[in-house]
Amino acid sequence: MIIVAGPCAVESAVLTEESAQFLSSLGVQFLRGGAFKPRTRPDSFQGLGLEGWRILRRAADAHGMRVVSEVTDIRLMDAACNFVDVLQIGARNAQNYDLLRACNDTQKPILLKRGLAMTLDEWEGAAGYLQDCPRLWLCERGHRTYMPHVRFMLDVAAIGEMKRRGFTVIADPSHAAGERKFVLPLARAAIAARADGLIVEVHPCPERAMCDAAQQLAHPEFRELWAWLEG
């Protein structure tokens, strides 16, 4: 099972170290954290940029973890190759074909999110740009819906269908609904649908998080998810 966990955004060296320490102690191998954040509003926290990647790399190395982080721009490819083990292509960039080509050219493992309103054929088409990457994980992260009680809606059928088409598919129960109370139920649904893994937002102090505070799990909540995965 592929488990990627960590904060939405890299906020500081101290918090990132705390995350890596906690997650690695459970056995989580992949540390996530955004340094270049695609935010809806320009006055929101945009991430620490290259310094964020340095912090993430240092924390991951100190605890024997691998780094998963979003790349938002083709100009970042050289730096991404230095600091990141698995290049994450975000939902908002899932059809940015220049970015897909540039990520493919690095020959690094890639995590490709599904776009906010992407059909499965469009998603498969985007994956077609990533033929040279040694490992490709598609990530179902929920799509736009008119339902007001969730931020996005996790498409469980898509997990099964993309696996049928031969892909490795993980699920993101954090962004899918946008609230921490939904994370465990959606993780269970994704695993029941035979997802190959999960990417989950976890923060040492979610209520103080600079980004996606409502959906990040506190450590005890992640521990509960982990225990269920192990059980």
Question: Is residue 155 a contact point for ligand PEP (CB under 6 A)?
Answer: no
Chain CA centroid to CA 87, Å? 10
Among the listed residues 113, 143, 151, 180, the single contact to ligand PEP using CB under 6 A? 113
User: What's the one-letter identity of residue 171?
Assistant: A
Tell me the closest approach of the beta carbon of residue 8 to ligand PEP, in angstroms. Answer: 6
Residue 141 within binding range of ligand PEP, rule CB under 6 A: yes
> Among ligand PEP, Mn ion, none, what does residue 70 contact (CB within 5–8 Å per kind)?
ligand PEP
Contact set with Mn ion (CB under 5 A)? 8, 212
Among 11, 70, 140, 155, binds ligand PEP (CB under 6 A): 70
**Interhelix angle 219-230/183-192, nearest 10 degrees:** 20
C-beta of 89 vs 191, nearer to ligand PEP:
89
63 belongs to the binding site for ligand PEP (CB under 6 A): no
* Nearest distance in Å: CB 116, Mn ion: 13
> How far, in Å, are 78, 202, 203 from residue 213 at the CA level?
31, 10, 9
User: Distance between CA 77 and CA 213 in Å, rounded?
Assistant: 29
Q: How far is CA 230 from CA 32, 184, 206, in A?
A: 20, 14, 24
Q: Interface with ligand PEP includes 8 (CB under 6 A)?
A: yes
Tokens representing 147? 């339902």
By the 8 A CB rule, do 31 and 65 touch?
Answer: yes
Count how many Cα atoms sit within 13 Å of the Cα of residue 144 in the half-sphere of its side chain.
7
Shortest distance in whole angstroms from residue 186 CB to Mn ion: 15
6 binds ligand PEP (CB under 6 A): no
Q: Which range in 16-24, 57-65, 84-92, 160-168 contacts ligand PEP by CB under 6 A?
A: 84-92
Q: Are 227 and 30 in contact (CB under 8 A)?
A: no
Of all residues in the shown chain, the one whose CB is closest to Mn ion is 8
The beta-strand segments (E) located in 7-104 are 30-32, 66-70, 86-89
For residue 100, state whether it binds ligand PEP (rule: CB under 6 A): no
Restricted to residues 168-187, the positions that interact with ligand PEP (CB under 6 A) are 172, 175
Count interface residues toward ligand PEP (CB under 6 A). 10
Interaction between residue 190 and ligand PEP (CB under 6 A): no
Q: Which residues pair with 170 in a beta bridge?
A: 139, 197
The residues binding ligand PEP (CB under 6 A) are 8, 34, 70, 90-92, 113, 141, 172, 175
